Amino acid sequence: MSDLDRFRVKPGSKLALKDFDPGFKDRHEEHKEALEEIERCQQRLRALQDLLYAERRHSLLVCLQAMDTGGKDGTINHVLAAMNPQGCRVVPFRQPSAEEAAHDFLWRVHRGTPARGEVAIFNRSHYEDVLIVRVHNLVPKEVWSRRYERINAFEKGLAENDTRILKFFLHISKEEQLARFRERLEDPTKQWKISEADYAERKYWDDYVAAYEEALARCSTEHAPWYVIPSNHKWFRNLTVARIIVEHLEALGMGYPKPTVDLEHIRREYHQAAKQA
């Protein structure tokens, strides 16, 4: 059993986010103590993504959800820093366009899923349709309450098509969120991120907690697990997400494909060209 399973939401379990400490740091007290492990993990992640891209038998879908300031962008930057951008892309989910709203809620999501050999990172995801939609009563309860089963079926279909799905809830405390809002106000390089909605949404904190608890409990499955990642410490969040991705990619047992050309012929051609140079 992996020590990372402590963050995994067990299928069919009851979930209370208050049972997860958002300030948890495990064995490293400070960022500098974790730097060596972070570097090793990034190197391994880089090698595994190269295998994924070369083999083209599997794909990886990473879904990130969080309260405002939870660290989705920071996590994406950390994961992408270890990957070849040729085989990785980020798919943001904002308010649906008119075209997207005219289709079922999963239509725009399916278009963003990764092809074999590819990594797709969802910045927010299809879970918005049982989170913000629920909290703000954008559709009736009888509509959003049926979506959990549709999401599970959708993800099962992806898994059966060799997509490894990893879903991360970046868990911060309400106090940490307020501190990050203050940091944005004081840092000119971050002020562009500020919106009126950030502060307005804080009054719905408990409603979002309830919505997340139900979504994570009902939609964490063996083929598409949810992980609750303590995220008050950004370095611990980044390290833990990367470690989980590495563990799942290693479990695929990937290998480089055999060459499709006659290597001996290519070598002879090379040596012939070298002699004539």
Percentage of the residues of the chain whose pLDDT score is greater than 70? 99
Q: What is the pTM of this model?
A: 0.94
* Mean of pLDDT values over 106-132: 97
In angstroms, rounded to a whole number, what is the distance separating the alpha carbons of residues 193 and 181? 10
Q: Kindly report the CATH number assigned to the domain that includes residue 226.
A: 3.40.50.300
In the chain, the DSSP E strands lie at 59-66, 88-92, 119-123, 163-171, 226-230
Give me the pLDDT at residue 1, please: 63
In angstroms, rounded to a whole number, what is the distance separating the alpha carbons of residues 164 and 120? 11
Parent domain of 144: 3-276
Alpha helices in 13-57 (DSSP H): 31-55
End-to-end, the C-alpha distance of the chain in Å comes to 58
Residues whose CB is less than 8 angstroms from the CB of residue 65 and which lie 6 or more positions away in sequence, other chains included = 72, 124, 125, 127, 131, 167, 168, 169, 170, 212
Give the DSSP letter of residue 114.
P
Question: Is 80 exceeded by the pLDDT of residue 41?
Answer: yes
Q: Dmax of the chain from CA atoms?
A: 76
In angstroms, rounded to a whole number, what is the distance separating the alpha carbons of residues 1 and 6? 10
Work out the pLDDT band at 272, boundaries 50, 70, 90: confident
Between 83 and 197, residue with greater pLDDT: 83
Burial of residue 13 (CB within 10 Å: 0-12, 13-18, 19+) is: exposed
Question: Is 80 exceeded by the pLDDT of residue 277?
Answer: no
Give me the pLDDT at residue 144, please: 97
Out of 56-60, 184-188, 191-195, 202-206, least confident range? 191-195
Out of 30-39, 183-192, 204-213, 232-241, least confident range? 183-192
Question: Is 90 exceeded by the pLDDT of residue 275?
Answer: no
Q: Which of 66, 53, 68 lies closest to 120, judged by CA?
A: 53
**Across all residues in the chain, what is the average pLDDT?**
94
For residue range 130-176, what is the model confidence (pLDDT) as tens digits? 999 999 999 999 999 999 999 999 999 999 999 999 999 999 999 99
Question: Is 80 exceeded by the pLDDT of residue 270?
Answer: no
Question: Is 90 exceeded by the pLDDT of residue 187?
Answer: no
Q: How many domains does the chain have?
A: 1
Work out the pLDDT band at 65, boundaries 50, 70, 90: very high
Two structure tokens written together for 226: 């949810």
Q: 3-class SS at 126?
A: helix
Other CB atoms within 10 A of residue 85 CB: 9
DSSP per-residue codes, 241-275: HHHHHHHHHHTT---PPPPSS-HHHHHHHHHHHHH
Two structure tokens written together for 198: 């950030």
Give me the pLDDT at residue 269, please: 82
Q: Which of 178, 76, 174, 68 lies closest to 119, judged by CA?
A: 76
